[in-house]
Structures are given as C-alpha cells and as structure tokens.
Amino acid sequence: MGKLVVTEFVTMDGVMEDPGGAEKDRFDRGGWAFQFERGAEGDAFKFDELKAADAQLLGRITYEGFAKAWPAMGDNPFGEKMNAMPKFVVSSTLDDPTWNNTTVLGRDWPGEVAQLKQRFEGDILVAGSARLVQGLVEHDLVDELHLMVFPVLLGAGKKLFADADATKAFELTETQQAGETVILTYRRKN
C-alpha cells in the first residue's frame, strides 16, 4: 500500500500560494521561494522525494501550471520522472488533460484517492493544490507532510491549512536544514 505524501513550499506564516511567481495576475506576492537558497540539501531532498513516488496527485490549477512547464523540461532526471509518471487530477472542469499519463478524478475523488493508495506501492506525491490538500486532510487521506519552510512572512495569500471540522494529529519525525530553509517531516498520528 502506498502512502500519500503532501509536499509544500510554505512561508513562516503558512502561505503556500505561488512560490514560483507564475501567477502574477492573481497574486502580487508570488515568487517568494526564489528569494532564498535551499542549497544542495534541499535539491537532494526534492529529488529523493520524487524518486520515491509512483504517482502524482494534483488539483486543477497546479496541474495546469505543471502541464505548461514540465513537458519542456524532460532533459534531466527530475524532468524525465515528472513527465513519465502517472498523474491524477482532481477537477470538475478539466475534461481533456494534455500532459501525458494524466487521469482526471471526478466527484468521488476521496474514494478514488483511497483506491490509488491501494494500487500503488510507492508514494503518491501532492504538490501545491491548496484546496485539494485541505480536502485530503479533512478526509484523513494524508499519511505524511513534507514542509519546506522559507524564512519570510507574506501577510496574505492562500494558507496551507484552512479551518477544519475536526482536529488532525501529526507527529514531527524529522527536521533538516536546507540552505536558508528548514524541511519538516510529519507523519499522521494514528
């Protein structure tokens, strides 16, 4: 059985919106992740995380950004893996995904995600996708969180965790400094 791993770039005040700066038309504080060095340790962590994954699970907005960028970046091992692996998108509006190996999950996405966890042996990696992550947490589908915390306060933007109906407990299992960032690994507490 695979585990569902949420991996996020996040600010000290919990904002995860537009770390790369591709959404300037929607968020004027984007691009914050490029202001800081994550070092060789951060790059290695992200590559090891990707290598451990058998599939990606994305929300529509993150999927569209990835589908626009990654197909042109297949000339390195990271890009090759991103482009080759199965991708699953939770969306009620996406009908015809263009990125290879993509399947759209519909209205019963929580049940479909639970089935994916049974289907894959390796990790199912979720990046970005704020609303999807909040729904995954709400449905107790997240097994592990990888948070790369950047030393900046934005004061506005989409928060990683919204108000929830119930308490969700995780335990800190690892911390690692990576350049100017800190990587926190949490596992769901049973």
Assess if residue 139 is contained within a domain.
Answer: yes
- Residue 111, domain CATH: 3.40.430.10
- The pTM for the full model equals 0.94
**Mean of the pLDDT values across residues 8-20?**
94
Look up the domain containing 162 and give its range. 53-188
**Contact predicate 4/132, CB 8 Å:** no
**Contact predicate 185/173, CB 8 Å:** yes
* Dihedral Cα 168, 59, 49, 78, nearest 10 deg: -170
Assess if residue 31 is contained within a domain.
Answer: no
Assess if residue 23 is contained within a domain.
Answer: no
Q: State the chain's mean pLDDT as an integer.
A: 93
Beta pairing partners, 57: 88, 126
Instruction: At 37, list the tokens.
Output: 């060095």
Q: What is the pLDDT of residue 20?
A: 87
Assess if residue 48 is contained within a domain.
Answer: no
Q: CA-CA distances (angstroms) from residue 77 to 48, 54, 116?
A: 11, 15, 25
**In this predicted model, what pLDDT tens digit does every residue of 156-167 receive, in sequence order?**
999 998 776 778
Number of domains in the chain: 1
**In this predicted model, what pLDDT tens digit does every residue of 36-88 receive, in sequence order?**
999 999 999 999 999 999 999 999 999 998 999 888 988 889 999 999 999 99
Q: What is the pLDDT of residue 102?
A: 96
CA distance 6 to 142: 7
Beta pairing partners, 150: 11
Residue 156: strand, helix, or coil: coil
CA distance 48 to 122: 12
Assess if residue 26 is contained within a domain.
Answer: no
Assess if residue 16 is contained within a domain.
Answer: no
Q: Are strands 4-11 and 144-150 parallel, antiparallel or unpaired?
A: parallel
Assess if residue 20 is contained within a domain.
Answer: no
